[in-house]
């Protein structure tokens, strides 16, 4: 299988592609091993506190990774390039680079999933008539973790989540669980095997969960924030499509990674006393959902708005569309 994959990569992109894919696989294997070690030696609470400490070192206006942000799902149009399988290890991280501007449009990255969901929920087809389901049954493709006949349980779960959002509105994971973070983080496991079960976002929504874990409690739609405040999908693509399709006005999300330029704006707002202390760029983002925890350190925005010059008032009102 390994040799077959190497040959396929070489045929598609030559030696450069083989080297690139080998590097990606090595990085993935290393992160997998580190995560396994963390899960083996730390309790859920210890793991969370260590992860947050590691990711927030040196960050001035560091946000609480558990805090929900409320965003318009229709504004989320692109998908982050970060690996999602160990997304929880990145909570609270700040990263530089061009990852935000290089993010792919959702409709391109997940075109095969979008096509399947549209066939089911817009065209009303039975699952057996959906092309993606047929390819999974034939062994040609997998849908998330479903292969072969497992696809039936998977699409049944999709129907349940879709109908729940349609009939009862969009609810956060912690609201559905009806438990506190302290209770979720206090989970015990009988063995190392149990402690290192595959941990994937949406596990609570799409699989049976015997015990509520910290990962279930954090299993919201997850996003990253680009340099200019763009909200970029990180995980939870199926629920995001449901929310967009059902015209949900606002959904709760957890922020996983922030661009370092965006974090610099958060730092600027957090350290300012009044709006007059801010740059024009920072003023344009005061109404951004990811500024709610740092705007409170400013003089009342309403008071600042009343006393600010016209140009600055316009900036205070603006919600970034960058």
pLDDT 10s digits, 163-207: 999 999 999 999 998 989 998 888 666 566 666 554 544 444 444
Show me where the domains of the chain are located.
Answer: 1-41, 59-259, 272-322
Of 2, 103, 48, give the one whose Cα is nearest residue 217.
Answer: 48
Of 85, 45, 43, give the one whose Cα is nearest residue 66.
Answer: 45
Question: What's the rounded Cα separation, in Å, for the pair 170 and 261?
Answer: 31
Sign of CA dihedral 307, 309, 312, 316: positive
What is 200-266 written as a DSSP string? -TTHHHHS--SS--HHHHT-SEEEEE-TT--EEEEE-HHHHHHHHHTT-S-EEEEEEEEEHHHHHHH
pLDDT 10s digits, 239-286: 999 999 999 999 999 999 999 999 999 999 999 999 999 999 999 999
Listed in sequence order, the residues at least 6 apart from 229 whose beta carbon sits closer than 8 Å to its beta carbon are 262, 265, 285, 288, 290, 320, 322
Looking at residue 6, its pLDDT comes to: 53
Question: What's the rounded Cα separation, in Å, for the pair 22 and 30?
Answer: 12
Query: Higher model confidence: residue 156 or residue 308?
Result: 156
Looking at residue 28, its pLDDT comes to: 72
> Which residues, listed in sequence order, are joined to residue 235 by a DSSP beta bridge?
222
Q: Are 224 and 232 in contact (CB under 8 A)?
A: yes
Looking at residue 221, its pLDDT comes to: 95
pLDDT 10s digits, 13-29: 677 776 776 787 777 77
Question: What's the rounded Cα separation, in Å, for the pair 135 and 285?
Answer: 45
Question: What's the rounded Cα separation, in Å, for the pair 150 and 269?
Answer: 49
């Amino acid at each position: 299988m390994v040799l077959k994959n190497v040959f396929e990569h070489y045929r598609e992109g030559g030696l450069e592609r083989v080297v690139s894919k080998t590097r990606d696989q090595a990085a993935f294997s290393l992160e997998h091993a580190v995560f396994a070690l963390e899960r083996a030696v730390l309790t859920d609470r210890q793991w969370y506190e260590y992860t947050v400490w590691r990711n927030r070192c040196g960050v001035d206006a560091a946000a609480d990774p558990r805090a929900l942000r409320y965003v318009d799902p229709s504004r989320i149009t692109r998908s982050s390039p970060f690996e999602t399988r160990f997304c929880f290890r990145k909570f609270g991280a700040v990263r530089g680079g061009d990852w935000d501007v290089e993010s792919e449009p959702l409709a391109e990255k997940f075109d095969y999933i979008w096509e399947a969901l549209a066939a089911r929920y817009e065209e009303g087809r039975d699952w057996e008539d959906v092309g993606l389901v047929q390819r999974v049954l034939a062994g040609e493709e997998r849908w998330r973790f479903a292969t072969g006949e497992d696809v039936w349980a998977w699409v049944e779960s999709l129907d349940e989540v879709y109908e729940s959002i349609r009939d009862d509105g969009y609810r956060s994971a912690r609201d559905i669980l009806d438990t506190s973070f302290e209770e979720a983080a206090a989970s015990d496991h009988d063995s190392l095997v149990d402690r290192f079960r595959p941990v994937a976002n949406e596990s609570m929504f799409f699989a049976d969960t015997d015990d509520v874990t910290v990962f279930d409690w954090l299993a919201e739609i997850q996003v990253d924030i680009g340099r200019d405040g763009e909200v970029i999908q990180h995980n939870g693509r199926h629920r995001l499509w449901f929310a967009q399709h059902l015209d949900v006005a606002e959904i709760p999300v957890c922020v996983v990674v922030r661009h370092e330029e965006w974090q610099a704006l958060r730092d600027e707002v957090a350290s300012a006393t009044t709006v007059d202390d801010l740059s024009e760029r920072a003023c344009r983002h005061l109404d951004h959902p990811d500024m709610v925890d740092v705007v409170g350190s400013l003089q009342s925005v309403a008071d600042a708005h009343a006393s600010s010059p016209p140009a600055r008032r316009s900036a205070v009102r603006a919600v970034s569309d960058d």
